[in-house]
């Protein structure tokens, strides 16, 4: 898609969510619950597998041959979304399912029965053919009680499919689904604030920013509930691998990516043309929180800039805003974080275009900076509308900072700590609780400290005294049922340790998770996210850039 020229900015025109396949009530989720199955009997071979998907995956039947079905009998957007979700589950189960042998490598090819229709459906929806946030969170939910006071409340949602068949995986997806639903009002508020800034209605901008802050506060509250029913051990060792893509995954068994049979013609290649064949392999990132348009929409609306990982840029200044206002032009955009930009290719086309058009029209941060540029404003009280505007804007920035801090702490608990501890006995030695850095002063160091504290706490704390950190804790703080989740049964720690030692001696490669995404990390190893990035380094920088976006009391 060609970039719009910077020399000819578009005149302001109010955006309509409906023009981008966005619901005013459900945001980036479909307005109606996703289809539970495709209505045309032609697609019964797919749906037959999905009806017993976990059984087939458990019995290693996913890799059996299926017929190649066309996509010409899909007729609605909902049917294409259902087909994409089904094929995503089939494809990742095929690649990562391992066919019954723990040491068996991931498969480097997809059969035409999956690859051909998957690519066709992806082209229609305008996103990459790989598991993404849309497949598992946006188009994979159902309402349990349609007459509930809040049908889209987290406790009233269920998933249609999971790889593991566990509550942990369902909860992991549904937390994101509930956040998307609750923040729909935030998207409406973003458009209201943008329009109000264009007509210089300062009170209306402040009010819209208040609605944005309310949506972000609800998102923070829902995210904190991740720990209730998603166990770090289950997530890291049983779920996470299925969400991985095939980019930067050489250490997980996919050095070249994955070949899509029937799509990328390989018949002309022989053994003597291996280098040319390698170039036909596809490399896609896996499912990532960066693939939801929601946070990127708030970033754009609030003018939070993200730069390439490892580089530090500057947020907009009042001088820049005055220059741009005088020139009535859009200055050359600074280099953006390439990973975040690439993640837009894993969003449906309408949602990606919304972000692009929002970036071309939204000037909320510029408006706030110009309105608050008076050198004496810091002496004003809350009766001054400019003070209220600045406070409303900074409240949104603070909530975005808090959300990213919580996310970083979760990566520490759900990825870094389990990777450092290894697969043998997940809850015998628990990581220390992550430090609270909600004030934004030490979030980056807190994540590093939490990862380091996991190993120290594991060595120092007896199993019987170890609290269950980030485990399946209900609202009454009762521990998980040890019969369902034996890794939480600290009373059986000694027996489990002996069994784990025997298993490790029997299969060292499997115990360390060699050749897999979920594996024990040694000193100096990088914990990669399912998107293939260095997770902590990326999140630290994104959090820091968000924190630096606050407008100070005395703007210069």
Contacts (Cβ under 8 Å, ≥6 apart) of 142: 33, 34, 36, 157, 158, 159, 160
User: 233-247, 338-352, 518-532 — which is least confidently predicted?
Assistant: 518-532
Is a pLDDT exceeding 50 seen at residue 70? yes
Per-residue CA distances from 366 to 7, 11, 194 (Å): 19, 16, 11
- The mean pLDDT value for 489-499 works out to 39
- Per the DSSP assignment, residues forming a β-bridge with 159 are 141
Phi, psi of 158 (to 5 degrees): -140, 160
User: 167-171, 311-315, 328-332 — which is least confidently predicted?
Assistant: 328-332
Was 407 annotated as part of a binding site? Answer: yes
Query: CA 180, CA 176: separation in Å to the nearest integer?
Result: 6
Is a pLDDT exceeding 70 seen at residue 36? yes
DSSP H helices in 279-377: 293-302, 318-327, 338-342, 349-361, 364-371
- What does the pLDDT look like over 177-186, one tens digit per residue? 999 999 999 9
Percent share of the chain, pLDDT over 70 = 69
Is a pLDDT exceeding 50 seen at residue 506? no
Query: CA 85, CA 159: separation in Å to the nearest integer?
Result: 12
Q: What is the pLDDT of residue 98?
A: 74
Residue 359's nearest CA partner among 386, 334, 389 is 334
Sign of CA dihedral 411, 416, 422, 427: negative
Query: CA 172, CA 413: separation in Å to the nearest integer?
Result: 14
- What does the pLDDT look like over 391-435, one tens digit per residue? 999 999 999 999 999 999 999 999 999 988 877 654 444 444 444
Is a pLDDT exceeding 70 seen at residue 519? no
Query: CA 113, CA 373: separation in Å to the nearest integer?
Result: 61
Structure tokens at 220: 């923070």
């Amino acid at each position: 898609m060609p970039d719009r020229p910077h020399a000819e900015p578009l005149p302001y025109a109010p955006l309509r969510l409906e023009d981008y396949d966005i619901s005013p009530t459900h945001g980036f989720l479909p307005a109606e619950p996703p289809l539970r199955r495709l209505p045309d009997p032609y697609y019964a071979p797919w749906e037959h597998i999905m009806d017993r998907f976990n059984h087939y995956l458990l019995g290693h039947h996913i890799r059996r041959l299926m017929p190649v079905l066309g996509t010409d009998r899909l007729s609605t957007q909902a049917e294409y979304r259902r087909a994409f979700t089904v094929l995503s589950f089939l494809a990742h189960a095929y690649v990562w399912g391992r066919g019954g042998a723990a040491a068996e490598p991931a498969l480097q090819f997809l059969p035409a029965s999956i690859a051909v229709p998957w690519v066709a459906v992806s082209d229609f929806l305008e996103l990459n053919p790989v598991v993404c946030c849309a497949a598992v969170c946006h188009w994979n939910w159902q309402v349990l009680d349609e007459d509930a006071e809040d049908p889209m409340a987290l406790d009233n949602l269920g998933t249609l499919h999971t790889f593991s068949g566990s509550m942990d995986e369902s909860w992991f997806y549904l937390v994101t689904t509930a956040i998307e639903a609750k923040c729909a009002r935030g998207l409406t508020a973003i458009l209201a604030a943008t329009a109000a800034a264009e007509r210089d209605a300062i009170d209306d901008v402040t009010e819209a920013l208040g609605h944005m802050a309310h949506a972000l506060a609800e998102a923070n509250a829902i995210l904190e509930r991740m720990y209730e029913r998603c166990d770090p051990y289950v997530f890291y060792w049983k779920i996470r691998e299925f969400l991985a893509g095939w980019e930067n995954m050489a250490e997980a068994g996919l050095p070249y990516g994955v070949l899509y049979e029937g799509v990328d013609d390989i018949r002309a290649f022989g053994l003597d043309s291996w280098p040319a064949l390698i170039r036909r392999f596809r490399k896609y990132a896996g499912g990532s929180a960066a693939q939801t348009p929601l946070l990127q929409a708030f970033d754009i609306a609030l003018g939070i800039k993200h730069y390439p990982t490892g580089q530090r840029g500057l947020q907009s200044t009042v001088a820049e805003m005055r220059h741009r206002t005088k020139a009535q032009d859009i200055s050359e955009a600074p280099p953006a974080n390439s990973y975040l930009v690439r993640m837009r290719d894993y969003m449906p086309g309408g949602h990606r275009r919304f972000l692009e058009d929002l970036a071309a029209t939204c000037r909320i941060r510029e408006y706030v900076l110009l309105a608050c540029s008076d050198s004496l404003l810091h002496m004003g009280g809350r009766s001054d509308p400019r003070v209220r505007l600045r406070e409303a804007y900074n409240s949104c920035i603070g909530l975005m900072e808090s959300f990213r801090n919580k996310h970083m702490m979760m990566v520490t608990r759900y990825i870094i700590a389990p990777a450092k501890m290894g697969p043998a006995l997940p809850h015998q030695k628990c990581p220390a609780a992550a430090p609270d850095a909600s004030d934004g002063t030490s979030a980056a160091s807190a994540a590093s400290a939490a990862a380091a504290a996991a190993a120290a706490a594991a060595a120092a704390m007896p199993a019987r005294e170890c609290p269950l950190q980030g485990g399946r804790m209900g609202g009454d703080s009762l521990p998980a049922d040890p019969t369902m989740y034996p890794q939480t049964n600290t009373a059986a720690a000694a027996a489990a340790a002996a069994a784990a030692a025997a298993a490790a001696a029997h299969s060292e490669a499997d115990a360390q998770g060699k050749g897999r995404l979920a594996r024990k990390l040694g000193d100096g190893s990088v914990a990669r996210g399912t998107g293939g990035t260095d997770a902590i380094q990326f999140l630290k920088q994104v959090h820091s850039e968000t924190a630096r976006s606050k407008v100070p009391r005395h703007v210069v």
